[in-house]
Amino acid sequence: MSYSSIEKRLAEGKTIILDGGIGGELQKVGAKMDEGLWCGRCSIDSPNELLKVHQNYIQAGADVITANTYASTPISMKKYGYENIIKECNHKSIEIAKKAVAGRDVLVAGSVSTYGYFMKDGIKKMKPSFDQHLNILSDVGVDLIILEAMSSQADIVEVLVECSNSLKLPIWLSISCVFDKNKNIHLGYDDDATNNEPQVYERLEESLLRFKKFHSGPILVAHSNMSVTEEAIKILKSNYNHTIGAYPNRGYFVKPEWKFTDDVTTSEYFESAKKWINSGAQIIGGCCGIGVEEIKAISILKN
Ligand SMILES: [Zn+2]
């Protein structure tokens, strides 16, 4: 499948299925997590397990699978002592994802994130690293880029989108959202068991006003809890006139492992996915803690 067939399906109002979390599934099949790089080294340390995870998602009905490049950003790899294998590790991730596709109608997305970055580093330091990561992924021929789980200042997202635009690849922007104490939705994170207060950044409506100026591709609510996701989709629908999507998480992070919870059953996930579609989401999948079982369940919503 080419990206143009995804665009055609989206234009016809159809639903596209994205895969679920990669790190969590790798854990389930026994892959070793790295203290610093989380699942980022699995492409080298546990290639067979990674291949299996991708294959399972494809079998479950995913139209787009995400390569294991979320945590292997140049900055994080330098930080944890893997500077000499930045290219090798990222190439290996794409190679394994493509091997899993094996000629089927499935696209490979390269994941780019701010994993390992600190806001205090400043954009000047981040930009060359964003460029480096994007170029590595583009050179090995990913079908699209997902800028994943963006949660902080809109200007960092802007720089990242700007770097991505030079690639001439489709760009999906995924954002992580939280409620503040007044139940307003902001960009932010709420997945750390050791941190009781969520990290809250800009109000979603304000961020969208800015995002619209430099991005017209899909925006997806990702790595957010289920209740925020449902509300955030409604805000996106009324403030963003392009494709929207959702892939929430379940559980929480205690580095280097994702902790699974059973507060949302597979059938509840399926019911929620129907609501997201009714609210206007056209790309649906799952993030950390959402696995093959859930993707299989929601893939029947494909039309
Ligand atoms: Zn996630």
Distance 250 CA to ligand 1 centre (A): 9
Distance 249 CA to ligand 1 centre (A): 6
Q: pLDDT of the chain along its 303 residues, tens only?
A: 689 999 999 999 999 999 999 999 999 999 999 999 999 999 999 999 999 999 999 999 999 999 999 999 999 999 999 999 999 999 999 999 999 999 999 999 999 998 888 777 778 888 999 999 999 999 999 999 999 977 777 778 888 898 998 898 999 999 999 998 899 999 988 776 566 677 888 899 999 999 999 999 999 999 999 999 999 999 999 999 999 999 999 988 888 888 888 889 999 999 999 999 999 999 999 999 999 999 999 999 997
Distance 54 CA to ligand 1 centre (A): 16
Distance 228 CA to ligand 1 centre (A): 14
**pTM of the predicted model as reported, rounded to 2 decimal places:** 0.95
Burial of 113: CB neighbours in 10 Å, binned 0-12, 13-18, 19+: buried
d(CA 276, CA 230): 6
Identify whether the C-beta of residue 34 lies closer than 8 Å to the C-beta of residue 40: yes
What Cα–Cα distance (Å) separates residue 48 from each residue in 34, 69, 193, 263? Answer: 17, 16, 30, 30
Distance 21 CA to ligand 1 centre (A): 6
Distance 222 CA to ligand 1 centre (A): 7
Distance 254 CA to ligand 1 centre (A): 13
What Cα–Cα distance (Å) separates residue 236 from each residue in 58, 145, 187, 283? Answer: 28, 20, 12, 13
Q: Which CATH superfamily is domain 3-301 in?
A: Homocysteine-binding-like domain (3.20.20.330)
